[in-house]
Structure 1
Amino acid sequence: MSVEILTKEDLSQFKEELLVEIQRILRPGMLKSQKEWLKSYEVRKILNISPGTLQTLRINGTLQFTKIGGSLYYKYSDIIRLFETDNNVE
């Protein structure tokens, strides 16, 4: 088994590479391509919540929605606003 010793310079270089990679992933233009309206299953996936929790968010007015036919739609900007106001959905 070989042992490698990490120096402060190694860690600093790793930090810089990691930050560059995170910035590449989260570049500002990425959100622009997001759909404006999402269906319930997409919202549940983004928020990682159950159908019942999503229903509670609708009932208590925390998350606005639009019903077209039998489908419910949610504005992406409203979901982002929900993250900004309260990170504890469940």
Structure 2
Amino acid sequence: MAIEVITKEDLNEFRQLLIADLSTLLEIKPQQQQKKWLKSNEVRELLNISPGTLQNLRINGTLTYTRVGGILFYESAHIDKLLNENKTINR
């Protein structure tokens, strides 16, 4: 059985390759296409809100939705727009 010695240079080369691979993966992820329509549970998870809060947003017209059968769908572009319009800047 042969013994293989790993040097600091080998570790540095591995680190550089790993960083390059991770950078590539992180660049690809944001470019993936976002779902156009989200179900209620996805919206609640995205906004970290309860079912009651989501219902209040529907009732008062803050968040529009489409009902197909018994399933409610929310347009992701509308949710993004709503979040961007309600940004606050802390000073």
TM-score by length of 1: 0.63
Unaligned runs of 5+ in 2: 1-22
List structure 1 segments (4+ residues) > 4 angstroms apart after TM superposition.
Answer: 25-28
Kindly state the Cα deviation for residue 26 of structure 1 after the two structures are TM-superposed. Answer: 8.7
Q: CA RMSD in A?
A: 2.4
Which structure is larger by alpha-carbon Rg, 1 or 2? 2
Residue 56 of structure 2: aligned partner? 56
Partners of 1:87 and 1:44 in 2: CA distance: 19
Q: CA 1:51 to 1:26, structure 2 compared with 1: closer, same or farther past 3 Å?
A: farther
- Look up the equivalent residue of 1:47 and give its one-letter code: L
Residue 67 of structure 2: aligned partner? 67
Aligned residues: 66
Deviations 1:50-89 (A, max 9, x none): 000000100111100000000000000011011101258x
